[in-house]
Structure 1
Amino acid sequence: MLSLSLKPAGEIFADGIAIFPSRIEWSNYARAFTEVPLARFLLNGAIVCTGILVFQILFSVPCAFALAQRRFAGRTLLFGLVLAGLLVPFQVTAIPIFLGLAKLGMLNTYPALILPFTASMFGIFLFRQFFARMPTDLFEAARIDGLSETAIVWRIAFPLSMPAATAFAIFSVTAHWNDLFWPLIATTDPDIATPPRGILYFKDEEAGDDIGPLMAGAVIVTAPLVLFFLLAQRRFTQAIASGGLRG
């Protein structure tokens, strides 16, 4: 992908395989931003991924804490339903969600791209496994000191689960930054297109795929994910080592 993004058009379809181009074609990157509104697509991706992650954390953390540290009737059944939810692919529910959003007139909007993913079964499972390994005495002491359950969740449990939160953020952002299936269904307006959806606009019905700028756009779209993982890899590996991902 990087090699093709730097090659002149004549070398892209040349016979044989050459990793390094004879000359670097930087104009492919300039054309990636001029042929389509790539900057707008990147901004849309950032808005959608941030919105999804914020809502997923907002819902997953209290649910996971209740399943891990509270005793109530039906707790095991609820956790079983969470595990069952992990087995249901999003494609199964895509049509009912699409019809519901269409009736509400919410297609081609940011909420249409964010709301279907606000409840994450994987997020609940991941945080539940992490919270279950925390000492119950810590939270009992906080209750004795007068803290509410909400304060215990967000002021004590969540800060201690930062390794798990970082690992979950990597999974969430990667999945939804790269998602093409749902944006392709829920949006037709280029102004609301996410990066994978926007990449499709490099295709011309008469000339076909513009490979040089297309590959340059793909490099630009991929680069934030690589950078994000490199910055967060320490906490990601810490979450794995601490057992947050183990059943």
Structure 2
Amino acid sequence: MNCRAILRLALLIGLVVLFLAPYAYMLGFSVKPASEIFGGSLSPLPTSFAGFANYVGVIQRRPLLLHLANGAVVCAGILFFQLLFALPCAYALAKLRFAGREAVFGLVLFGLLIPIQVTALPIYAGFAGLRLLDTYGALIVPFVSSAFAVFLFRQFFRSIPDEMIDAARLDGLGEISILVRVVLPLTLPAATAFGIFSVVSHWNDLFWPLIVVRSPELNTPPLGLLAFRSAEAGDRYGELMAATVLVTAPLILVFLVAQRRFVEGISLGALKG
């Protein structure tokens, strides 16, 4: 092993330690009693185990499982409509020739620059006028169109040979049939990559649910975590860390299951120009 390989390995190990250290401390704090958490020790390992009390307290004090279910419903609904709208748009921008195609793609790129905070006020006013606040619709509808999804799939579709599309047209298939029967089977890696981006983004979103949700039974996971903070009784950091572990665990499991497809989607052209 040469010096360059050793340096690369050392850098990778250092980055792994850097990124995993916060999660290791979170796991350690989730099984520590309050006396150890505030004891000043930098060790993530507990001297006395309080994990059972912390995790059981999380389930008993708050309906965290309901919050996790709400997050799953919201993320699944958003991802479904994002794919439903983005795939045809991306296919048209990548494989169809029409006047103004580049201008439309320019608008898509411009849309990438606009964060939700810019449009939050008019969207909130619109939902208030339609009496749709504090509903699943208010959590899902603002995100059903994704400029990033259109951009991502357009880049991926450009890597598909035009000869394959032309051959399908010669066989008599229409554009919708080509998209469904030819293109979509090839899109699974890119869809997996985008799905991970989308789910992580909306699962962790606190800004928009904090604005439109008032009923505790509609709380998403980040809103559920806020319930473990109390100005009167003090913050229960052991339970808060246990709840955080439970909230982040589904994301980690999803990524571990889909990591091969995720890497394949990136390497096969999902982010290529």
TM-score band, normalised by the shorter chain?
over 0.9
Deviation at 1:147, TM superposition (A): 2.1
Could you say what secondary structure the match of 2:97 adopts?
A: coil
Q: Tell whether 2:73 aligns with 1:47.
A: yes
Tell me what 1:113 maps to: 139
1:150 equivalent to 2:180? Answer no
2:143 matches 1:134: no
What one-letter code is carried by the residue in structure 2 that aligns with 1:107?
A: L
- Equivalents in 2 of 1:243, 1:43: separation in Å? 33
Separation in 2, partners of 1:119, 1:99: 19
Correspondence for 2:58: 32
CA distance in 2, matches of 1:153, 1:94: 33
1:17: Cα distance to partner?
1.9
Aligned partner letter, 1:6:
V
CA distance in 1, matches of 2:147, 2:76: 18
* Unmatched runs of 5 consecutive residues or more in structure 2: 1-25
Instruction: Find the counterpart in structure 2 of residue 189 from structure 1.
Output: 215
Partners of 1:156 and 1:24 in 2: CA distance:
55
Q: Which residue number in structure 2 is paired with residue 65 of structure 1?
A: 91
Query: What is residue 125 of structure 1 aligned with on the other side?
Result: 151
| Residue matched to 1:9 | 34
Of 203-212 and 170-179, more deviation after overlay is shown by 203-212
Q: Which residue of 2 aligns with 1:162?
A: 188
State the Cα distance separating 1:156 from its structure 2 match.
1.4
Supply the distance in 2 between the matched residues of 1:22 and 1:245 (Cα, whole angstroms): 47
Deviations 1:148-194 (A, max 9, x none): 22221122111101111000000000000000010001101110110
Q: Give the C-alpha shift of residue 243 in structure 1.
A: 2.2
- 8 Å CA contact 2:68, 2:220 repeated in 1: yes
Match of 1:216 in 2: 242
The equivalent position to 1:18 in structure 2, one of 43, 49, 52, is 43
How far the C-alpha of 1:47 sits from its partner, in A, is: 0.1
Tell me how far apart the structure 2 counterparts of residues 154 and 198 of structure 1 sit (CA, whole Å): 39
User: C-alpha separation between the residues in 2 aligned to 1:221 and 1:124?
Assistant: 29
SS of equivalent residue, structure 1 residue 202: coil
With normalisation by structure 2, the TM-score equals 0.88
Q: Identify which of 202, 215, 233 aligns with 2:228.
A: 202
For the residues of structure 2 that align with 1:159 and 1:96, how far apart are their CA atoms?
A: 38
2:202 corresponds, among 165, 170, 176, to 176
Q: Distance in 1 between matches of 2:167 and 2:71?
A: 42
Root-mean-square deviation (CA, aligned residues, Å) is: 1.0
Cα distance in 1, alignment partners of residues 211 and 190 from structure 2: 31
Equivalent residue pairs, number: 247
User: Secondary structure of the residue that 2:255 maps to in structure 1?
Assistant: helix
Q: Match of 2:262? A: 236
What is the TM-score when the length of structure 1 is the normalising length?
0.97
Amino acid at match of 1:161: T
Show structure 1 runs of 5+ residues with no match. Answer: none
- Between the aligned partners of 2:248 and 2:108, the Cα distance in structure 1 is 31
Q: Matches of 1:200 and 1:208 in 2, distance apart?
A: 13
After superposition, the C-alpha distances for 1:112-139 in whole angstroms (9 at most, x for unaligned) are: 0000000000000000000011112212
1:82-139 deviation digits (Å, cap 9, x = unpaired)? 0011011111011111110111111111010000000000000000000011112212
Q: C-alpha distance in 1, partners of 2:259/2:218?
A: 30
Is the CA contact (8 Å cut-off) linking 2:156 and 2:272 kept in structure 1?
Answer: no
Aligned-pair identity in percent equals: 56
1:240 shift after superposition: 1.6
Question: Where do 4+ consecutive residues of structure 1 move more than 3 Å?
Answer: none
